[in-house]
Amino acid sequence: MRVGVVIFPGSNCDRDCLGVSRRVMGWETIACWHRESLPDDLDLVILPGGFSHGDHLRAGALAALAAVMRDVIAHAKRGGLVLGICNGFQVLCETGLLPGALRINRGLRFICEDVWLRVERRDTAFTSAIPDRAVRFPIAHREGNYFAKPDTLKRLEDNGQVLFRYADAEGNVSEASNPNGSVNGIAGIMNEAGNVCGLMPHPERLSEDVLGGTDGLAVFESLRSALGAAL
């Protein structure tokens, strides 16, 4: 099983993703520089968090034009799995692999804290191993306010493409539990085909006991199950 972690100038969570993939999951993992081509035989591509190109223009806008993204798009269109975390989610929206956009947080401030998430589906490649309860993931972003036009939002909801919503510890979704103003409390979505997922919270940052919890590891365990079934 081979995994590629794409690195842009300004990525700062690439080491976290490489560590989880290589050391915790035991996957063969390749660091892929943004100017280079992806290996042809990857099973999973991860776009990590950070501030690619300093968030100039818009978060993820310049990274979406990188040479490597042509290969990421081709990988996704072949049915390959793609996981975009935080800045990676922003990049996926900028490329059109995922619908919608990430705007500046409602409070106009950078937010760095743990949040609770309600998992809306557990029958996907990204969520099948997540326990049946609210899970705790960290967030660290200034442009995490998810927005989509009403028709796009309706399609996402009707198709079951919303995977994560901000919630309280009991899994209740409310304005009080929404840290950034995201429409419908959306924290993460997937594409219609179910092979591309983007989320603002960071599962890799709570994937080992030494980090204070392992809720995030369930995302990678889900991917292991999906990849194992496919292989």
**Could you write out the DSSP letters of every residue in 94-138?**
HHTSS-SEEE--TTSS-EEEEEEEEES-SSSTTTTTS-SS-EEEE
143 three-class SS: coil
How many domains are contained in the chain?
1
161-170 average pLDDT score? 98
Amino acid 228: pLDDT = 84
Average pLDDT over residues 163-173: 98
Domain CATH for 90? 3.40.50.880
* pLDDT for position 229: 64
How does residue 79 score in pLDDT terms, banded at 50, 70 and 90?
Answer: very high
Query: Dihedral, CA atoms, 125, 128, 130, 135, nearest 10 degrees?
Result: 60
Answer yes or no: is pLDDT of 70 > 80.
Answer: yes
Its pTM stands at: 0.97
The parent domain of residue 137 ranges over: 2-230
- Per-residue confidence (pLDDT) for residue 230, from 0 to 100: 54
What is the reported pLDDT for 40? 86
Q: Please say whether the dihedral angle defined by the alpha carbons of residues 190, 195, 201 and 207, taken in this order, is positive or negative.
A: positive
* pLDDT score of 231 more than 70: no
Cβ distance 185 to 173 under 8 Å? yes
98-125 confidence digits (pLDDT tens): 999 999 999 999 999 999 999 999 999 9
Catalytic residues: 86, 202, 204
Q: Give me the mean pLDDT over the 5-22 stretch.
A: 97
Flag whether pLDDT at 76 surpasses 80. yes
**Does 201 score more than 80 pLDDT?**
yes
Q: What is the mean pLDDT of the chain?
A: 96
Measured CA to CA, the distance from residue 166 to residue 183 in angstroms comes to 10
What is the mean predicted confidence (pLDDT) over 15-23? 97
pLDDT at site 90:
98
Give residue-wise pLDDT tens across range 173-191.
999 999 999 999 999 999 9
